């Protein structure tokens, strides 16, 4: 029996496993995939997360591969409405770091391999958890070719642990399978995005174009590329790169360079679990709270769960009598942070909606005020996740 089994080897599950392994906890990760996902997802890593990555021993490696975003600007109708400097952020990392999620995950997996060479079991899909009171059995998803032990009812037990952490992401099934309810926190907006060659026009600045037709966002990436994201009226699943290029040109006047990138569309969902702790089953990351990618905080929020859960879980293992109270504190604090992040993402999305006439002028006034001292300090804190 393991101390802890983490289900899901995404960025949150692996980071948590690193933090637990460093504390001497006997931890294993079970991951459904046999090959890493190369999907374009998170790029922004915020200052509190960099501190967590330093704890996990990977901050230097991440910085070596990434681009540092030190400023962000907001533009509308060809004019700059305001500029934020992340250099005002105190501490060792006064910038937002941009690195594609698959690269960050590769760095984390390599670190976990150093800490626990056989700690990641790939190709294992967990279908159900049975909390037996003193331990949890993990049951495989039904499959035609079973190879492990079979327990009661002929089910295949793929692991047994004192605690199980569910880190199976927003599309994971385990939260529902163990009967933890979740509620929607808004969403529904749709976006189209792709990574283009960077023409260098904006340096390493992040740029938000708040235009009449809706928001366009642009972020630098390593390797001379830039990500462009545009709000769309509907989910444009079959859109081509030319569609996105035309959309950006029409709204902002920026002509993007030719690229062989394939655009991806996504629709925003925000959800929050009713609890992140149920007996010996704990939730982290997107399995607990799905937050809009607009504002770029979902993965970061999950990492902040991990840094809160690692000491709580270590304490619960060492002092079983205090486990309930310790884990209840984790649940309370992290769901509060998720609610704040969801509200903030909701505000970001509302600001980016199409606007004309009076509404457009009002929005531009709000943006100017927020991007000018003293309020820009607050905005910078919000964007760099200082209160999450």
Q: Does 5 bind ligand FAD (CB under 6 A)?
A: no
Instruction: Report the SS3 class of residue 203.
Output: coil
Candidates 48, 159, 220, 296: give the one binding ligand FAD (CB under 6 A). 296
| Closer Cβ to ligand FAD, 35 or 152, answer by number | 35
Q: To 5 degrees, how large is the angle CA 36–CA 38–CA 43?
A: 115
Query: What binding mask, one character per residue, do residues 261-290 give for ligand FAD by CB under 6 A, x or -?
Result: -----x------------------xxx---
Q: Interface with ligand FAD includes 346 (CB under 6 A)?
A: no
Q: Which is nearer to ligand FAD, 125 or 246 (CB)?
A: 125
Q: Which of 17, 18, 25, 43 binds ligand FAD (CB under 6 A)?
A: 43
Cβ pair 72, 205 in contact under 8 A: yes
Distance from the first to the final alpha carbon of the chain: 34
* Burial zone of 357 (CB within 10 Å; 0-12 exposed, 13-18 middle, 19+ buried): exposed
Q: Which of 6, 20, 25, 42 binds ligand FAD (CB under 6 A)?
A: 42
Pairing of strands 71-76, 206-211: parallel
Q: Determine the interface stretch with ligand FAD among 5-13, 148-156, 196-204, 329-337 (rule: CB under 6 A).
A: 5-13
Kindly tell me which residue out of 100, 159, 172, 352 binds ligand FAD, with binding defined by CB under 6 A: 172
Residue 17 contacts ligand FAD per CB under 6 A = no
Q: CA-CA distances (angstroms) from residue 72 to 87, 114, 169, 225, 350?
A: 11, 36, 29, 17, 19
**Residue 382: Cβ within 10 Å count:** 20
Query: What's the CA gap between 298 and 291, in Å, rounded?
Result: 5
d(CA 265, CA 235): 6
Shortest Å distance, C-beta 353 to ligand FAD: 18
SS3 7: strand
Does the footprint of ligand FAD cover residue 126 (CB under 6 A)? yes
Minimum Å gap between C-beta 4 and ligand FAD is 15
Two tokens at 270?
Answer: 């925000």
Q: Which residues bind ligand FAD (CB under 6 A)?
A: 7-13, 30-33, 41-44, 101, 125-126, 167-170, 172, 174, 266, 285-287, 293, 296-300, 302
């Amino acid at each position: 029996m393991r101390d802890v089994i983490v289900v899901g080897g995404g960025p949150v599950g692996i980071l948590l496993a690193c933090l637990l392994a460093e504390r001497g906890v006997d931890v294993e990760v079970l991951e459904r995939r046999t090959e890493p996902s190369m999907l374009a997802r998170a790029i922004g890593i915020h200052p509190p997360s960099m501190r967590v990555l330093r704890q996990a021993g990977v901050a230097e490696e991440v910085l070596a591969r990434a681009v540092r975003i030190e400023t962000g600007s907001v533009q509308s109708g060809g004019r700059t409405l305001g500029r934020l400097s992340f250099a005002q952020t105190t501490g060792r990392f006064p910038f937002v770091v941009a690195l594609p999620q698959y690269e960050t995950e590769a760095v984390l997996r390599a670190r976990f391999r150093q800490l626990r060479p056989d700690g990641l079991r790939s190709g294992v899909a967990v279908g159900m958890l049975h909390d037996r009171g003193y331990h949890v059995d993990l049951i495989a998803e039904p499959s035609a070719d079973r190879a492990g032990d079979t327990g009661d009812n002929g089910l295949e037990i793929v692991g047994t642990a004192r605690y199980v952490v569910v880190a199976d992401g927003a599309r994971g099934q385990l939260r529902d399978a163990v009967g933890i309810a979740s509620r929607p926190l808004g969403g529904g907006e749709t976006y189209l995005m792709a990574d283009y060659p960077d023409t260098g026009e904006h340096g390493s600045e992040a740029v938000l174009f708040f235009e009449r037709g809706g928001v366009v966002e642009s972020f630098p990436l390593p390797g001379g590329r830039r990500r462009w994201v545009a709000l769309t009226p509907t989910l444009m699943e079959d859109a081509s790169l030319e569609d996105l290029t035309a959309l950006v040109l029409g709204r902002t006047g920026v002509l993007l360079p030719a690229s062989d990138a394939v655009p991806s569309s996504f629709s925003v969902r925000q959800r929050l679990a009713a609890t992140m702790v149920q007996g010996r089953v704990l939730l982290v990351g997107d399995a607990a709270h799905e937050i809009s990618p607009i504002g770029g905080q979902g993965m970061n929020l999950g990492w902040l769960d991990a840094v809160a859960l690692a000491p709580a879980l270590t304490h619960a293992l060492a002092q079983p009598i205090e486990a309930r109270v310790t884990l209840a504190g984790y649940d309370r604090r992290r769901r509060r942070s998720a609610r704040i992040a969801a509200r903030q993402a909701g505000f970001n999305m509302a600001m980016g909606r199409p606007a004309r006439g009076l509404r457009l002028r009002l929005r531009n006034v709000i943006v100017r005020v927020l991007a000018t001292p003293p309020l820009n300090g607050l905005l910078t804190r919000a964007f760099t996740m200082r209160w999450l």
